[in-house]
């Protein structure tokens, strides 16, 4: 199975100059399609909305895909929704994927099941793939509620399949699940590889139970992945790649993580 390493740049870098410097470093290291294929690891970055068009233009002839970090729940295309960017707009800017349901969106923007179902529908309608983030908080982890929380969050996928069958024909190629324990994001704390592996197995089994076509779901781990711990996650066959925040802001650490997954899959 191909590995995926996806960089979530969040609200970084601060300036276009710094965005271009990061891209310079990234593209120097990964400068041809052939080289990227040789890595056996699909790379993707998700810049902030303001940088999406310029980043996707620079990545156009490279093997690195470009994703949005979010899309509007209200409309797939246009409307009176101040501050929102629609699925059609981010696709027009060059994104081919979008992250949805990141814990920071759930926390700071109160994103609910219904909101995420809308967003997922809009993304797929506009031909965007979806990296759907799920994961428990520290309190939920401490209370051993991880799998219950995940099941509730995965109900978005179940409801999508029930309501939007025409959109979900090739869903296994257009949906990636990113398991990100909230307490591991940006904290330096990580669950054990055994814990992540067991949770990924549960996610894969649950999603396969929704539809036969989802029997080989790609499931990434996210939360304080770095160049030092990537090998241990990459070695587990249940972990198909990584969603990377902080370490994706330096080409060197981002590509070291990709290299760990390439070596594990080769």
Q: Which helix (H) or strand (E) holds 57?
A: helix 52-59
CB of 8 to ligand PEP, least distance (A): 4
Q: Is 180 a catalytic residue?
A: yes
Judge whether 30 and 62 are in contact, CB under 8 Å. yes
Residue 194 burial (CB count, 10 A): 10
Instruction: Examine the residue annotation and report whether 113 is marked as an active-site residue of this protein.
Output: no
Closer Cβ to ligand PEP, 129 or 223, answer by number: 223
User: How far apart are CB 35 and ligand PEP at their closest, in Å?
Assistant: 24
The residues binding ligand PEP (CB under 6 A) are: 8, 180, 185-186, 222-225, 243-247
> Which residue number, 120 or 220, has a Cβ lying nearer to ligand PEP?
220
Nearer to ligand PEP, 179 or 210 (CB): 179
CA of 66: how far to CAs of 55, 87, 91, 222, in Å?
Answer: 8, 13, 10, 18
Question: 111, 136, 180, 200: which one is catalytic?
Answer: 180
CB of 246 to ligand PEP, least distance (A): 4
Name the residue whose CB lies closest to ligand PEP: 245
Report yes or no: 240 and 220 within 8 Å, Cβ to Cβ. Answer: yes
Q: Considering the candidates 102, 122, 200, 202, report the single residue annotated as catalytic.
A: 102
Largest CA distance in the chain: 49
Contact 222, 179 (CB under 8 A): yes
| Least distance from ligand PEP to the Cβ atom of residue 46, Å | 9
Give the three-state DSSP class for 66.
strand
Catalytic residue numbers, as ranges? 102, 180
């Amino acid at each position: 199975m191909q590995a995926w390493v996806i960089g979530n740049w969040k609200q970084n870098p601060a300036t276009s100059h710094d965005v271009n410097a990061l891209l310079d470093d990234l593209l120097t290291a990964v400068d041809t399609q052939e080289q990227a294929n040789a890595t056996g690891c699909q790379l993707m970055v998700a810049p902030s909305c303001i940088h999406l068009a310029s980043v996707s233009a620079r990545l156009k002839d490279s093997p690195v895909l470009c994703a949005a970090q979010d899309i509007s729940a209200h409309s797939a295309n246009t409307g009176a929704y101040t501050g929102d960017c629609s699925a059609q707009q981010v696709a027009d800017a060059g994104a081919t994927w979008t992250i949805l349901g990141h814990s920071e969106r759930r926390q700071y923007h109160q994103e609910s099941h219904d909101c995420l179902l809308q967003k997922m529908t809009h993304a797929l309608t506009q031909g965007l793939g979806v990296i759907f983030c799920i994961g428990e908080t520290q309190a939920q982890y401490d209370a051993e509620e991880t799998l219950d929380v995940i099941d509730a969050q995965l109900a978005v996928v179940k409801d999508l399949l029930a309501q939007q069958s025409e959109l979900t024909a090739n869903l296994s190629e257009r949906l990636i699940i990113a398991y990100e324990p909230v307490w591991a994001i940006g904290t330096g704390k990580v669950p054990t590889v055994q814990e992540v592996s067991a949770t990924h197995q549960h996610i894969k089994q649950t999603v396969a139970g929704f539809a036969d076509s989802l029997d080989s779901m790609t499931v990434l781990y996210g939360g304080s992945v770095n160049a030092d711990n990537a090998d241990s996650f990459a070695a587990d066959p249940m972990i198909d790649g990584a969603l990377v925040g902080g370490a994706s802001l330096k080409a060197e650490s981002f590509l070291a993580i990709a290299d760990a997954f390439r070596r594990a899959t080769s």
